Structure 1
Amino acid sequence: MGCQCSTFDKHSEARIDLTEPFSEIIRSQINEYQVLLYSKSFCEQSRLAKQLLRKNSIQFEYFELDNMNDDGQAQSALQTFTGKKATPYVFICGKFYGGLKELQKGLESGEFKKGINAL
């Protein structure tokens, strides 16, 4: 499966082994990246989340769920994992942080950057 992913504005094709259950793929990705965003290319809240991260000079990776050829399985796994239905899904240091509202609050309070720097 290919998907669009990026560190800031670099675009590359990611390959994922489809024989792995999606929950394991998601867990692996969450643990691989310090800051990870699952988004949709047409979602305004996802666009704003990426914009906020860039504005705050936070390096992150993202996967566009609508560009994955997986019949919605990745988003279903994310919904099960997080209990949240809508994008964006923001993860830091292997843990679910929240969506756009939580990201905005965390950046305003400084909590988000503290979570990243806690490594």
Structure 2
Amino acid sequence: MGLNSSKAMEVNDSVKKFVDSVISDNKVVVFSKIYCPFCSKAKKVLEKYPILDNQYVVLEIEDRDDCNQIQEYLRQLTGASSVPRVFINGNFIGGGDDTVRLDSSGELGKRLEECQALKQKL
């Protein structure tokens, strides 16, 4: 272990539990910042789909006291702390460009359908 390993922010257990529960309790989760253009890009793509309201959470973190800890924990989970961090059915799918790419390939719709996150057609 080098000197840098001691500089990693200690993430408090309540933040870990909060992030884990948001991800596990919802089919679609976006950790976002309102002013971020990549976050806007991801949210705009997801808005094209009829995602169940009670299964879709956009968590705008910039005004939260625990914003830095949330981003650090997301870095530990996903390899990067930048937002957006998009999860479908508990699985990290990427950021803004990744979400757009999955939409373009048809994969995003398939994943949303597979995890039953979409409203049923009448």
> Which TM-score band applies after superposition, normalised by the shorter structure?
0.7 to 0.9
Aligned partner (choices 10, 24, 28) of residue 35 of structure 1? 28
For 1:104, the equivalent position in structure 2 comes to 100
- Match for residue 115 of structure 1? 111
Secondary structure at the residue paired with 2:47? helix
> Which residues in structure 2 correspond to 1:1-119 (within 5 Å)?
20-59=13-52, 60-70=56-66, 72-119=68-115
- Normalised TM-score (structure 1): 0.76
Name the aligned partner's letter for residue 37 of structure 2: E
Three-state SS of the structure 2 residue aligned to 1:27 is helix
- Which structure shows the higher strand fraction? 1
Query: Structure 1: which 4+ aligned runs deviate by more than 6 Å?
Result: none
Q: Percent identity?
A: 30
Kindly tell me the number of residue pairs found equivalent between the two proteins.
101
Partner of 1:66: helix, strand, or coil? coil
CA RMSD of aligned residues (A): 1.7
Per the normalisation by structure 2, the TM-score is 0.74
Which has the larger helix fraction?
2
Q: Point out where structure 1 has 5 or more consecutive residues left out of the alignment.
A: 1-18
The Cα of 1:112 is off from its aligned counterpart by 1.2
Q: Distance in 2 between matches of 1:32 and 1:89?
A: 16
Q: Report the secondary structure of 2:66's partner residue.
A: coil
**Alpha carbons of 1:108 and 1:58: their partners in 2 closer, same or farther (altered >3 Å)?**
farther
User: 2:61·2:67 contact (CA, 8 Å) conserved in 1?
Assistant: no
